[in-house]
Structure 1
Amino acid sequence: MTALRPARTAAEVRALVEALPDPELPMIGLGDLGVIRSVAPAADGVLEVEITPTYLGCPALPVIVSAVRDVLAASGHPGGRVRQVLSPAWTPERITAAGREKLAAHGIAPPVPVPAGGPVAVGLARVPCPHCGSRATRPHSPFGPARCQSVLRCTACQELFPHLGAL
């Protein structure tokens, strides 16, 4: 007979859930992408994971929810819940510095953060090229490898690259 292992704490579950790779951007975990909002017991005592998708109608959401449920079950919380929180909406500021570096290392330009208290950019802010760093970039296609991405072209090095849009 095997001894039952005690259920993992909310902090331990959070670390496991944050490490799950995003299905469309597997180089970055859900934590670095800023999708995991909270992991805590709900009022009824059931462990609940709150997620905020980067894109309303994200086609990867069922895969994310399933992976989080698997972590909950494997962590001793088979009745754990996953709840989508849409307000406030996900913003690019939720991507961690490590997440931005991982995206850039894979040739994906993360959204340009808006400085706190700074002016709101009107029109397309020049997104730095992940290949050469130039800001001489322009839109190439509104459709990228995933629904939350567009394609930009760097006029300095002539490379095309996906841009994770601020949705």
Structure 2
Amino acid sequence: MVAAARAWEAASAVPDPEVPCVTVADLGILRSVEIEGGVAVARVTPTYSGCPATLAIELAIEAALRDAGFEARIERVLSPAWTTDWITPEGRDKLRAYGIAPPEGPAGKAALFSVPEVTCPRCGSRDTTRISEFGSTACKAQYQCRACAEPFDYFKCL
């Protein structure tokens, strides 16, 4: 049990390469880490099947486990599919502090076709407008706050 906790601690500290203010555990993409036959097996669910950061994330988790003294194996788990509902409350707070508005509302198909009312992560105003469907990555949209005039990314509900 101690080894599994150490392995989780090592893997869960890996930052997301596209949004380095949050870890893979904060995002909920690190599903589990278990010791199986002396090998630390990390199960990872990518944010979406075409995410360009998936391999980088898996390699970083494997390296973190090896640096912690474990033989490591990564298993990609595609079902159930990841949703933004898996982002931890701490992860949402970290996104906001970094200047990225966290997802608002539950994930679902309807969220993909709506323009949500989004809270500005800088000043807290709800008087915001979407500038572009896509932000710095495909999983984010670009918004601007009318109150403080600052642009910001919004992590879409997926």
Q: TM-score, normalised by structure 1?
A: 0.82
Q: What amino acid is the match of 2:68?
A: S
Q: Does 1:156 align with 2:150?
A: no
**Displaced runs of 4 or more, over 6 A:** none
Distance in 2 between the 1:73 and 1:37 partners?
18
Q: Does 1:126 align with 2:120?
A: no
Distance in 2 between the 1:49 and 1:23 partners?
17
Q: What amino acid is the match of 1:51?
A: V
- Tell me the residue number matched to 1:165: 156
Structure 1 unpaired stretches of 5+: 1-7
Q: What amino acid is the match of 1:147?
A: A
More helix by share: 2
- The superposition leaves residues 6-55 of structure 1 with CA deviations (integer Å, 9 ceiling, x where unpaired) of xx71111111111111101111111111111011134x664310111123
- Tell me the residue number matched to 2:95: 103
Distance in 2 between the 1:92 and 1:101 partners?
14
In our comparison, the structure showing a higher alpha carbon Rg is 1
Q: TM-score, normalised by structure 2?
A: 0.86
Q: What amino acid is the match of 2:135?
A: G
Distance in 1 between the 2:142 and 2:66 partners?
38
- The superposition leaves residues 58-111 of structure 1 with CA deviations (integer Å, 9 ceiling, x where unpaired) of 111111111111122223332x21111121111112111111111111110010
Q: What amino acid is the match of 1:59?
A: P
- 1:22–1:28 Cα contact (<8 Å) kept: yes
Q: Does 1:146 align with 2:137?
A: yes
Q: Does 1:54 align with 2:47?
A: yes
| Aligned residues between the structures | 154
Q: Does 1:67 align with 2:60?
A: yes
- Tell me the residue number matched to 2:3: 9
Q: What amino acid is the match of 1:85?
A: V
**Secondary structure, counterpart of 1:9 in structure 2:** helix
- 1:107–1:162 Cα contact (<8 Å) kept: yes
Match of 1:31 among 25, 36, 39: 25
Structure 2 unpaired stretches of 5+: none
**In angstroms, what is the RMSD of aligned CA positions?**
2.1
